[in-house]
Chain A
């Protein structure tokens, strides 16, 4: 299939074939990351702006490196303050950057829907790098990519997502992606942190974490935002760790070859113990590497694919492009 999307706002609206195209392209990118000289000229002359209204180390660096490995220039704007506090609206900030020549916007914002707003305002592609409690599509794609690489498939996988699902943009993107491939999605956590109405989407909701872990092929542990406790959603971190924290005993309820994932940053000893986070089943660092490959794939599809089709130009990701073309 051909890539038609201007923006990447969420996995809810992605088709299964689109997800597959991204994952296949990421395979080629993964190969580039293993080369001694990790640089291809694909996006030379393109400028990628990362516009982050929330603190982030991992995601922003991952996008910047992805762009740099493909020879794009990057500009990084991080602001702890909201646009309103800064005295300039989100629209104005983004439009100013666009007329300076930005070719792509990677946006992280604490408010759900902010990237959708920008996508309407800007002609350049917008990639959602996490919006409020809505979606984090590139994290969702890298999670799917990691599961597919390690398990060889997504169909029929039993995936347990544990923790603060209600407020998690990672969980939403994972759920949308997994459901498209016919995986069995289970969620568990305290009732105050479970989302409303997800059963209707086909998600299995558990109140006891043990029930969700039983026989799981993948366990994805979500980060616990400690400020939720102050809002009264659970009494203490201690009680949370006792009933919902993932350690060796609980992980043993899953399949013997279970894959343990976490989007980071981890609260060691709260939602996950160090023993399992650094243990044999953990794919947590692999997720981070895969994140770069997936983001390279998206930048390539959004910015580079059309030009690579022109005769006489090098095709930097032959394998991915060829395979994707064959599956249409």
Chain B
């Protein structure tokens, strides 16, 4: 019997499913890759008879987490990450669905490239990998890529992430043309003139450290422009990795006007500030784009989550090789490897102290991102794909990047003691991670395979 047809009974846990408004003790029965029932006392259910029983007593059962923003680096940068290692990292972190960014080498700007990534991901067979395609050919910001054809090939989002769509007219056309297919256009909001040479947030800390700063206006000015363009065209703008308080205000303003804008925020922007660059003594693992910003920005992002301005929490998982980080701060690559610490860090630093309720964080990792993409996922409704995650809110562990499944060990959280995290990940009814161990997928790209090719 293929194991995706196996039955699972997850018994005794608290089921927290914000989409259905559930937050009480229930069993979850999985059959044939779908959620069969979510009720109390399912022991006697006919389908439960030969099911594998997993005891979730004292734990929280949630819909599988959906990450709108990861970099799997394949093809082209397999020394940083590949689809197999990134899928393992996702499973380890409790994510059942990830959207992978198209800034690979070559970039994902054609249907054939989109289909190839999906084919490889299916071959790995751990989590759902949904590719994003580029907005413009070659991510050059000039001519629209074939959004329709890529959409048919399985692309769920379009973005030139890594770089912004700089030209306002190109952005206007993308939003307008994207309407034909009902796809969101994701913007990496950055004004390259304002951010040129910058390596951290522009503020008192950058001033003290003597590092060139990236002003919040670099992000917010582009978001203001694009919100107006979304209003003009009726297109769907998705703002990637919001980091600045001003950006939150512009998104809030646009939503209040009925403009179709959605937004995501990364865990590191919710947890850390620019002080981390100073406290760590220029640790390049704090270098990320957009940069870690001020405490006021961090608070504004939290408010944006609370009032619904920000729809989703997305890791912006950006794995890098040690060679890209073990250099001078100015020369280091931007990015944080986030898949394996995101949920635990949110639980430790935001849910634990009571800053955000658990249900809100779960919503922003499940139903929230599903709504951004119009995906039929993110809930444990009977009949839904059996993607689910079990959390242990008491599990304590110390972040040791050497033990990451990701090839990217670049995290500013190394050595931190985290409380709470995912202990079981189920994708399509199949257990892919249990107590921290990811099921072997059978395939992986040997490290460095393409590196010197």
Contacts and interface: CB of A to CB of B under 8 A. Distances in A.
A132 B379 CA distance: 51
B330 A132 contact: yes
A196 B202 contact: yes
B208 A113 contact: no
A117 B209 CA distance: 14
B207 A116 contact: no
Contact of A172 (B202, B208, B281, B329): B208
Nearest to A114: B328
Contact of B203 (A120, A169, A197): A197
Given A89-B327, A91-B327, A112-B330, A133 B281 contact: no
Interface in B297-325: 323
A116 B211 contact: no
A134 B210 contact: yes
Interface string A5-38: 0000000100000000000000000000000000
Contacts of A84: 327, 331
B55 interface: no
Given A112-B209, A117-B282, A132-B210, A196 B328 contact: no
Interface-central residue, B211, B212, B282, B326, by most chain A CB under 10 Å:
B282
Contacts of A131: 210
Contacts of A313: none
A195 B210 CA distance: 9
Interface in A51-90: 83-84, 89-90
Nearest to B330: A111
A164 interface: no
B330 A200 contact: no
Given A111-B329, A114-B328, A116-B282, A172 B204 contact: no
A324 B212 CA distance: 39
Given A116-B282, A197-B203, A111 B328 contact: yes
Interface-central residue, A112, A116, A131, A196, by most chain B CB under 10 Å:
A112
Interface in B199-229: 202-213
Given A84-B331, A111-B331, A117-B282, A195 B207 contact: yes
Nearest to A89: B327
A109 B207 contact: no
Contact of B327 (A12, A90, A132): A90
Contact of A90 (B202, B281, B328): B328
A117 B202 CA distance: 22
B207 A12 contact: no
Interface string B227-249: 00000000000000000000000
A253 interface: no
Contact of B211 (A89, A133, A166): A133
Interface-central residue, A89, A111, A166, A200, by most chain B CB under 10 Å:
A111
Contacts of A117: 282, 327-329
A166 B328 CA distance: 21
A135 interface: yes
B35 to A, nearest CB: 50
A129 to B, nearest CB: 14
Contacts of B208: 12, 172, 197, 201
B193 to A, nearest CB: 11
A315 B209 CA distance: 38
Contact of A89 (B202, B210, B326): B326
Nearest to B326: A91
Nearest to A167: B210
A171 to B, nearest CB: 10
Given A109-B328, A197-B205, 14 more contacts: A111-B331, A112-B330, A113-B209, A113-B282, A116-B282, A117-B328, A131-B210, A132-B210, A133-B211, A134-B210, A166-B207, A195-B207, A196-B204, A201-B208
7 residue pairs, one from A and one from B, having the closest CB atoms: A197-B204, A113-B282, A134-B210, A133-B210, A112-B210, A111-B330, A196-B207
10 contacts: A12-B208, A83-B327, A89-B327, A112-B211, A112-B282, A113-B211, A132-B210, A196-B206, A200-B204, A201-B208
Interface of A: 12, 83-84, 89-91, 109, 111-114, 116-117, 120, 131-135, 166, 169, 172, 195-198, 200-201
